[in-house]
A = this chain, B = another copy of it.
Amino acid sequence: MYRYKIGFIGLGLMGGSLSIALQKLPSKDYYLGYDHNTLHCQQALALNLVDKIALSLEEIKSCDIIFISIPVDGIIAVSQLLVGISKDCTVIDLGSTKEKISASIPPSIRSNFVTAHPMTGTEKFGPTSAIDNLYTDKVVVLCDIRKSGSHQEKIAKTLFTDIGMNIVCMDAKEHDRHAAFISHMPHALSYALANAVIQQEDATSIIALAGGGFRDMSRIAKSSPSMWEDIFRQNKTNVLEALDSFQLELAKCQEMVENEEWDKLNSWMKDANTLHTILK
């Protein structure tokens, strides 16, 4: 016998790693997977990330808990199809944007939903990239939690706590602005850095000199373009604001170097150093 029947819509890095985390808990659950990519379905089964692949979304709708871990435009599309689930069903989406998702959930099932953003991931994707401890000691943001049913809120908080996450609650609008600064804009920088270097005539000999700094700065430029296209689309306004803030700082740096204002540049770098008194 199992405790919950848990459905995963999306069997990539996030869904797969969540299954690994849940399987380490003492309670035994049953895992049903669903993914439009048939290779991913086969891989998820082979890796024991799920007990069974659902043949249709209808089958998933009978689950006690449903995690949606697919690109954010897909989350909006799928949530429309979940109308009719039981009032006790808990749906948790793991999208990196929250405002448009939260607003688009059909009113009849709004209280079934907990809109969550686990602040973790890697640049890899697909079930084979699923790893142990992806969620351990990481933050998960729960948005607009007052719109969730109390049963659903309890289920989500318990599960995320059980797998070692730290819960932060905020409204979806605030989340999207925060996420633009701490995640979405940095991804844009990494993509731009990669493109700036590979477009140099002697790119290969430049890249041959890459040390740890460049590797770290360009790591997330490996991330999935289709996933990030959706995020930039859904969070356009905040991403542009965060990019403007960054551009302003970079323009200061360029100006100080150009004008040889070295003391000022030194102070500006000291200001940047203080980040790490806040970032533990």
Binding site for B on A (CB under 8 A): 119-122, 138-139, 141, 168, 170, 178-179, 181-183, 185-200, 202-223, 225-226, 228-229, 232-233, 236, 239-240, 242-243, 245-250, 252-254, 257-258, 260, 262, 265-276, 278-279
Per DSSP, chain A at the interface is helix
Question: How far is B217's CA from A209's CA once the two chains are assembled, in angstroms?
Answer: 18
Q: Which of A170, A203, A276 has the most CB of B within 10 A?
A: A276
Q: How many copies of the chain does the oligomer comprise?
A: 2
A267 partner residues in chain B, CB cutoff 8 A? 225
Contact present for A217 and B216 (CB under 8 Å): yes
- One of B186, B196, B211, B266 near A213 (C-beta < 8 A): B186
- Contacting residues, chain B, for A199 (C-beta < 8 A): 245, 249
Subset of 11 A-B contacts with CB under 8 Å: A122-B212, A189-B250, A191-B268, A196-B245, A197-B275, A198-B272, A217-B217, A222-B273, A225-B273, A232-B265, A240-B258
Contact A120 B178 (CB under 8 A): no
Q: Evaluate contact between B253 and A191: CB separation under 8 angstroms.
A: yes
Q: Give 19 new A-B contacts, CB below 8 A, not counting A120-B211, A168-B209, A218-B279.
A: A139-B211, A181-B196, A183-B214, A185-B196, A188-B250, A192-B246, A192-B249, A192-B250, A194-B271, A196-B245, A196-B249, A198-B274, A198-B278, A210-B279, A221-B272, A225-B273, A229-B266, A233-B262, A247-B247
